[in-house]
Amino acid sequence: MKKIAIYGASGHGKVVADIAEICGYKVEFFVDDDDSKKEFCGMPVYGFEFAKTHRDICFGLGIGKNSAREKVFELLISNEFRLPFLIHPSAVISKSVIIGKGTVIMPNVVVNAYASIGMGVILNSSSIIEHDVNIGEFAHISPGSAIAGGVEIGVGVHLGINSTVIQGLKIGRHSVIGAGSVVIRDIEANSLVVGAPAKEIKKI
Protein backbone atom coordinates (compact mmCIF):
# COMPACT_ATOMS: atom_id res chain seq x y z
CA MET A 1 0.00 0.00 0.00
CA LYS A 2 1.26 3.48 -0.88
CA LYS A 3 2.25 5.66 2.07
CA ILE A 4 1.20 9.28 2.47
CA ALA A 5 1.52 12.02 5.07
CA ILE A 6 -0.90 14.93 5.32
CA TYR A 7 0.64 18.37 5.78
CA GLY A 8 -1.85 20.25 7.92
CA ALA A 9 -3.43 18.90 11.12
CA SER A 10 -6.67 20.76 10.48
CA GLY A 11 -10.30 20.27 9.59
CA HIS A 12 -9.38 20.37 5.93
CA GLY A 13 -6.59 17.91 6.64
CA LYS A 14 -9.13 15.43 8.02
CA VAL A 15 -11.01 15.47 4.73
CA VAL A 16 -7.84 15.09 2.66
CA ALA A 17 -6.79 12.14 4.83
CA ASP A 18 -10.16 10.46 4.26
CA ILE A 19 -9.89 10.90 0.50
CA ALA A 20 -6.32 9.61 0.49
CA GLU A 21 -7.41 6.43 2.28
CA ILE A 22 -10.31 5.92 -0.11
CA CYS A 23 -7.81 6.31 -2.97
CA GLY A 24 -5.74 3.45 -1.58
CA TYR A 25 -3.09 5.27 0.46
CA LYS A 26 -2.06 4.49 4.02
CA VAL A 27 -1.91 7.70 6.04
CA GLU A 28 1.24 7.42 8.17
CA PHE A 29 1.08 10.70 10.10
CA PHE A 30 0.23 14.39 9.94
CA VAL A 31 2.78 17.19 9.63
CA ASP A 32 2.17 20.60 11.14
CA ASP A 33 4.22 23.72 11.91
CA ASP A 34 2.52 24.07 15.32
CA ASP A 35 4.86 22.31 17.75
CA SER A 36 2.10 22.00 20.36
CA LYS A 37 0.19 19.49 18.21
CA LYS A 38 1.26 15.96 19.06
CA GLU A 39 -1.74 13.89 17.98
CA PHE A 40 -4.60 14.43 15.54
CA CYS A 41 -7.39 12.05 14.51
CA GLY A 42 -5.64 9.30 16.44
CA MET A 43 -2.41 9.74 14.50
CA PRO A 44 0.92 11.30 15.46
CA VAL A 45 1.76 14.85 14.39
CA TYR A 46 5.36 15.71 13.54
CA GLY A 47 7.30 18.69 12.30
CA PHE A 48 8.72 18.80 8.81
CA GLU A 49 12.26 18.00 9.96
CA PHE A 50 11.04 14.58 11.10
CA ALA A 51 9.09 14.06 7.89
CA LYS A 52 12.19 14.79 5.81
CA THR A 53 13.71 11.54 7.04
CA HIS A 54 10.86 9.51 5.50
CA ARG A 55 11.75 9.48 1.83
CA ASP A 56 9.35 6.64 1.03
CA ILE A 57 6.21 8.70 1.52
CA CYS A 58 4.33 11.22 -0.58
CA PHE A 59 2.30 14.16 0.70
CA GLY A 60 -1.28 15.39 0.60
CA LEU A 61 -1.94 19.09 1.18
CA GLY A 62 -4.27 19.52 4.15
CA ILE A 63 -4.20 23.33 4.21
CA GLY A 64 -7.22 25.39 3.24
CA LYS A 65 -5.62 28.85 3.11
CA ASN A 66 -4.30 29.42 -0.39
CA SER A 67 -1.13 31.35 0.44
CA ALA A 68 -0.10 28.89 3.16
CA ARG A 69 -0.81 25.93 0.87
CA GLU A 70 1.40 27.46 -1.82
CA LYS A 71 4.31 27.89 0.63
CA VAL A 72 4.05 24.28 1.81
CA PHE A 73 3.79 23.05 -1.78
CA GLU A 74 7.01 24.86 -2.68
CA LEU A 75 8.71 23.47 0.45
CA LEU A 76 7.76 19.91 -0.43
CA ILE A 77 8.73 20.23 -4.09
CA SER A 78 12.08 21.79 -3.18
CA ASN A 79 12.72 18.75 -0.98
CA GLU A 80 11.79 16.43 -3.84
CA PHE A 81 8.67 14.93 -2.29
CA ARG A 82 5.87 13.65 -4.50
CA LEU A 83 2.44 15.30 -4.32
CA PRO A 84 -0.13 13.15 -6.12
CA PHE A 85 -3.51 14.59 -6.96
CA LEU A 86 -6.29 13.01 -4.91
CA ILE A 87 -9.75 12.50 -6.39
CA HIS A 88 -12.74 11.20 -4.43
CA PRO A 89 -14.33 8.32 -6.39
CA SER A 90 -17.73 10.03 -6.45
CA ALA A 91 -16.32 12.90 -8.53
CA VAL A 92 -17.12 12.90 -12.25
CA ILE A 93 -14.06 13.95 -14.24
CA SER A 94 -13.89 14.09 -18.03
CA LYS A 95 -11.06 12.06 -19.55
CA SER A 96 -9.83 15.23 -21.30
CA VAL A 97 -9.26 17.17 -18.05
CA ILE A 98 -5.71 18.13 -17.04
CA ILE A 99 -5.02 18.05 -13.27
CA GLY A 100 -1.90 19.40 -11.56
CA LYS A 101 0.06 17.72 -8.77
CA GLY A 102 -1.11 18.29 -5.21
CA THR A 103 -4.69 19.07 -6.23
CA VAL A 104 -7.55 17.60 -4.17
CA ILE A 105 -10.98 16.94 -5.70
CA MET A 106 -13.68 16.23 -3.14
CA PRO A 107 -16.96 14.28 -3.17
CA ASN A 108 -19.52 14.86 -5.92
CA VAL A 109 -17.44 17.35 -7.88
CA VAL A 110 -18.07 17.56 -11.64
CA VAL A 111 -15.29 18.64 -14.01
CA ASN A 112 -16.33 18.68 -17.65
CA ALA A 113 -14.50 18.39 -20.96
CA TYR A 114 -11.17 20.10 -21.57
CA ALA A 115 -11.03 21.92 -18.26
CA SER A 116 -7.56 22.48 -16.82
CA ILE A 117 -6.91 22.41 -13.07
CA GLY A 118 -3.59 23.80 -11.84
CA MET A 119 -1.29 22.55 -9.09
CA GLY A 120 -2.32 22.68 -5.45
CA VAL A 121 -5.97 23.47 -6.18
CA ILE A 122 -8.93 22.55 -3.96
CA LEU A 123 -12.17 21.63 -5.73
CA ASN A 124 -14.45 21.34 -2.75
CA SER A 125 -17.55 19.20 -2.33
CA SER A 126 -20.24 19.36 -5.04
CA SER A 127 -18.58 22.15 -7.01
CA ILE A 128 -19.17 22.21 -10.77
CA ILE A 129 -16.43 23.09 -13.24
CA GLU A 130 -17.78 23.31 -16.76
CA HIS A 131 -16.07 22.75 -20.11
CA ASP A 132 -12.90 24.67 -21.04
CA VAL A 133 -12.49 26.27 -17.61
CA ASN A 134 -8.91 27.07 -16.61
CA ILE A 135 -8.25 27.17 -12.86
CA GLY A 136 -4.91 28.63 -11.78
CA GLU A 137 -2.57 27.18 -9.19
CA PHE A 138 -3.52 27.25 -5.49
CA ALA A 139 -7.10 28.36 -6.08
CA HIS A 140 -9.90 27.14 -3.80
CA ILE A 141 -13.35 26.50 -5.27
CA SER A 142 -15.64 26.18 -2.26
CA PRO A 143 -18.53 23.72 -1.78
CA GLY A 144 -21.51 24.11 -4.08
CA SER A 145 -19.89 26.66 -6.38
CA ALA A 146 -20.57 26.59 -10.12
CA ILE A 147 -18.23 27.86 -12.83
CA ALA A 148 -19.70 28.06 -16.33
CA GLY A 149 -17.84 27.23 -19.53
CA GLY A 150 -14.70 29.03 -20.65
CA VAL A 151 -14.00 30.87 -17.39
CA GLU A 152 -10.42 31.67 -16.39
CA ILE A 153 -9.75 31.57 -12.64
CA GLY A 154 -6.45 33.20 -11.65
CA VAL A 155 -3.74 31.94 -9.31
CA GLY A 156 -4.75 31.89 -5.64
CA VAL A 157 -8.41 32.86 -6.17
CA HIS A 158 -10.86 31.92 -3.41
CA LEU A 159 -14.39 31.31 -4.68
CA GLY A 160 -16.74 31.34 -1.68
CA ILE A 161 -19.35 28.71 -0.91
CA ASN A 162 -22.29 28.53 -3.34
CA SER A 163 -20.83 31.16 -5.67
CA THR A 164 -21.63 31.28 -9.38
CA VAL A 165 -19.52 32.55 -12.28
CA ILE A 166 -21.21 32.92 -15.67
CA GLN A 167 -19.55 31.81 -18.89
CA GLY A 168 -16.46 33.30 -20.46
CA LEU A 169 -15.29 35.54 -17.61
CA LYS A 170 -11.84 36.15 -16.16
CA ILE A 171 -11.26 36.25 -12.40
CA GLY A 172 -7.96 37.97 -11.60
CA ARG A 173 -5.33 36.35 -9.42
CA HIS A 174 -5.65 36.38 -5.62
CA SER A 175 -9.21 37.70 -5.73
CA VAL A 176 -11.85 36.60 -3.21
CA ILE A 177 -15.44 36.01 -4.28
CA GLY A 178 -17.77 36.17 -1.27
CA ALA A 179 -20.15 33.35 -0.39
CA GLY A 180 -23.27 33.21 -2.53
CA SER A 181 -22.01 35.78 -5.02
CA VAL A 182 -23.06 35.80 -8.67
CA VAL A 183 -20.25 37.01 -10.91
CA ILE A 184 -21.47 38.47 -14.23
CA ARG A 185 -18.43 40.50 -15.29
CA ASP A 186 -14.65 40.16 -15.23
CA ILE A 187 -12.95 40.67 -11.85
CA GLU A 188 -9.61 42.46 -11.56
CA ALA A 189 -6.74 40.91 -9.63
CA ASN A 190 -6.62 41.30 -5.83
CA SER A 191 -10.29 42.22 -5.53
CA LEU A 192 -12.84 41.34 -2.85
CA VAL A 193 -16.29 41.09 -4.42
CA VAL A 194 -19.63 40.14 -2.91
CA GLY A 195 -23.30 40.08 -3.82
CA ALA A 196 -25.65 39.19 -6.65
CA PRO A 197 -24.53 40.60 -8.96
CA ALA A 198 -21.05 40.66 -7.42
CA LYS A 199 -19.56 44.11 -6.80
CA GLU A 200 -16.07 45.06 -5.70
CA ILE A 201 -15.80 46.04 -2.03
CA LYS A 202 -12.08 46.71 -1.85
CA LYS A 203 -8.64 45.71 -3.07
CA ILE A 204 -6.82 43.09 -1.02
Long-range contact pairs involving 27-30 (C-beta distance under 8 Å, separation at least 24): 28/3, 28/4, 28/54, 28/57, 29/5, 30/5, 30/6, 30/62
Strand partners, 46: 31
* Other beta carbons within 10 Å of 198: 24
Supply φ then ψ for residue 28, to 5 degrees: -85, -40
Strand partners, 2: 25
Q: How far is CA 201 from the centre of its chain?
A: 25
> Is there a catalytic annotation at residue 54?
no
Catalytic position from the list 54, 88, 131, 158: 131
Which amino acid, one-letter code, is at 53? T
- Residues forming the active site: 131
